[in-house]
Amino acid sequence: MPLHPAAESGDRSHGAAAIESVAQLSTALEDTDPGLDPALARMARQAAAEGVVLLRNDDGVLPLGSRPVAVFGRTQLDWFAVGYGSGGDVKVPYIWNLVAGLRDAGVAVDAEVADLYSAWCAAHPPELTGTWGQWPHHLAEMPLDPVVVTAAATRADTAVVVIGRAAGEARESVLEAGSYYLDVAERALLDAVTASFSRTVVVLDAGNVMDVSWLADYGDRITGLVAAWQGGMEGARAVAAVLSGETPATGKLTDAIALSYPDYPSSANFGDPEANTYAEDIFVGYRYFETFAPERVLFPFGFGLGYTTFALTTRARFIADGAELSIEVRNTGNRAGAETVQVYVAAPDGSLSQPARRLVAYRKTAILLPGRSERVDLRVAMDELASYDDAGVTGHRSAWVLEPGDYRFFVGTDVRTAVAESIVTIPDLRVVRQVTEAAAPVLPFDRMTLARDADGTARVAFAPAPVSTADLRDRILRQLPPALPEPAEPAASLTFDAVVAGEATLDEFVAQLTPVELADIARGDITMHSPLGAAGNAGVLGGVSAALRARGVRPVTATDGPSGIRLSSYASLLPSGTALASTWNPPLVRELAALHAQEMIRKGSDVLLSPGMNIHRDPLCGRNFEYFSEDPLVTGRTAAAIVQGIQSRGVAACPKHFAANNQETNRTRNDSRVSERALREIYLRGFEICVREAAPLAIMTSYNQINGVWAHYHHDLVTTILRGEWGYTGCVMTDWWMENAVDPLFPALENSAYRVRAQVDVLMPGGAKTDAGPQSYVDDSIAQSLARPDGLTIGELQRGARNVLGLVLALVPVVDARA
């Protein structure tokens, strides 16, 4: 199959996908099939287009139609298709650039300017370095003679200026020119273009929110602004389709964009290499701005313009346990388009501080022709509005509660313009769910709360966050599982195939495994690029030893994601997490993920390490492009759609990074110090939605500590909450390698023994890690601990093996079909 026309024509694009290791380059010589599924490419293009957010469209500058356009900025060719690191390092056969996309969409691109940029970019290729974590945030701009701009303005009536940014794994955005801020050359470019053109559209090709306060400096000279996010291999083509009007603009912001970085409530507590105090507590993103500082927002959460207008008519009906809202959405403009209905709630003032508004439901319409309408029915259960009392101020500590009072429902198309439509009154305090204190802080700190002045105006206050009072050692000892009954049959007689055939139970198979075999199941195949899996894999788990394979346990291959399958073979590069979430369209995301799963099967991936679903706590976090939103509902619903789509084809998804992995700086040692309420309501809520709605077969822990305990050792996080409260029965794996530690509560446990007690089932990729880095051997901490009086028990090892083998069992049809 020939390469894509964009590649054949000599058009160029660069991004993280263009940064390849020597090993990948050598493998590329052997891979002669760059063909990808056209259906997946089409769906990726549609998703990327629906994720494009139109932020400004003065005087109807967009869509461009067929009128002549001059395009400025090197990113028009050197397009950032994705962010950096494992989340986007895919061997992709092509990446569209914007000029090729605009021409494909029928836009009359000024040839003289385009040729000038093409020649300059060819002579000045991007200085892309393969050094991990040192990738460029931006690419140096072409020096531009103002005469060129003036001349272009005589041939074209509209200018498009493209600004590119990238960040990624181990690569935060920084408060410097060329990263969060514009650099001098970009300013000069905007100055020159806006001085000559009365219509200027700026396209931000970036995976993270960046500073846009400069808009005020140009007044009405910048008439259009588009957040393109990073849409993968088809992203630039999708952006061009939206700019041209071939595809309607329907994307919505999943983060509020503030006037300046210091306005973000996390800004004073981000980037510390040792620990970050989540002092803003539940007031993350728009929850803070809408409550305390609405005037400090440039573009509110949920905002996004279109090329047409809509009218919303709401009818509310109260039911026993909540509210049902029926919203008629009518296209009142003269172009086709789609709208996203968003429902917010304002909880009553009570003992627990509450944000002014929080998202509780949303749905996107189909494309509606002018004059056509669609009814959107949304149901909100009151129990879903419960808040977590971690201090006992309501009289019910460690409980999800609904405080008495009026719950006001707002309906609209963004958080700021949503209007009050109904009220549900709760007469008495209701305990929705009583749980157990878990993962609470051990060090004291003050957290943000809501206070009101005499006139009712909200103001920021602070109060001590409750610290842990739990006896975790006693909790663990009371929950230790017994060993499985010894099998009646000889130990070697029962194979895994008998479990597959339904002739034996999984427990019967696990009960006959030796301690060595159980320890092997608790790790991967030592290193990345395991010979047991497809070339270039991230790691293999399950049948990692000859003894286990002799018993019929299949090796299971895991591959990096989420924006594509990271292997030595060619694979599709899909839209980034932020782009997908900005569609506000879970059914579309689910369909895309199902097609992606078919590519997994073809390429040899059994478990995709996806979706990435950490909260956008701060705009500087390097991996925000992989993640979805500052809002846990958008995060959870988008993640659930990806998991459902992938697993509908018989392969597995592995949501990550569980949990509170909100910065890349010193990520393997940093401590996220967060109240139990904020942890549960903000940072775990998306994971909970994903687990309850999609039942992922695997979950990956994060590198960081949460309140002093590494996630891969965190019993409360994994056993108490994930498994105990949410009922999760799948496989939990580490992120790749882990920090060595002795369990402070059980000194006979260290490293993998400590991890297995927490029910983190598998160390990936399996080898030990020392101060010198990852090693190609396995530590013996499990065997050592089994031999100690107060060490790990066989019952705990068997429990973990059951979790791992449950994943293997679910994947047997795909693995066997490939064999």
User: 3-state class of 658 per DSSP?
Assistant: strand
Return d(Cα 239, Cα 242) in angstroms, integer. 5
Q: What is the DSSP code (8-state) at residue 717? A: I
Bridge-partner residues for 561, per DSSP?
none
DSSP 414-438: STTT-EEEEEEEE-S-EEEEE----
User: Pick the catalytic residue: 390, 414, 618, 735?
Assistant: 735
CA-CA distance, 152 to 773, in Å (whole number)?
54
Q: What are phi and psi of 797, to 5 degrees?
A: -65, -40
- Report residue 295 as tokens: 């005037």
| C-alpha to C-alpha distance for 587 and 403, rounded to whole angstroms | 34
Please compute, for residue 743, the number of CA atoms within 13 A of its CA located in the half-sphere on the CB side: 27
Picking from 118, 172, 182, 33, the residue whose alpha carbon sits closest to that of residue 625 is 172
Cα 434 from Cα 754, distance rounded (Å): 28
Q: Residue 327 class from Cβ within 10 Å (0-12 exposed, 13-18 middle, 19+ buried)?
A: buried
Q: Find where tokens 């949410």 sit.
A: 726
Q: Please report the sign of the dihedral spanned by the C-alpha atoms of residue 67, residue 73, residue 78, residue 84.
A: negative
d(CA 555, CA 587): 32
Tell me the C-alpha distance between 763 and 747, whole Å: 20
* Residue that has been written with the tokens 């320890």 in this structure: 519
Strands 652-653 and 773-774: unpaired
Nearest partner of 326 among 336, 318, 317, 335, judged by Cα: 317
- Rounded Cα distance between 85 and 703, Å, is 15
- Please answer whether residues 343 and 446 qualify as being in contact, where contact means their C-beta atoms are separated by less than 8 angstroms: no
Sign (positive or negative) of CA dihedral 38, 40, 44, 47:
positive
Instruction: Give dist(CA 335, CA 350) in Å, integer.
Output: 46
* Residue 201 phi, psi dihedral angles, 5° rounding: -110, 130
**Chain Cα centroid distance, residue 750:** 31
Closest to 694 measured CA to CA, from 635, 610, 637? 637
With a CB cutoff of 8 Å and minimum separation 6, the contacts of 573 are: 17, 81, 82, 88, 90, 92, 95, 232, 233, 563, 564
**Residues belonging to the chain:** 819
Rounded (10°) CA dihedral 689, 690, 695, 696: -160
Provide CB contacts within 8 A for 119, sequence distance 6+.
none
Distance CA 708, CA 706 (A): 5
Determine whether 88 is exposed, middle or buried from the number of CB atoms within 10 Å of its CB (0-12, 13-18, 19+).
buried
Tokens of 490: 């000889």
Based on the residue annotation, tell me whether 560 is a catalytic residue of this protein: no
Report the catalytic residues.
735
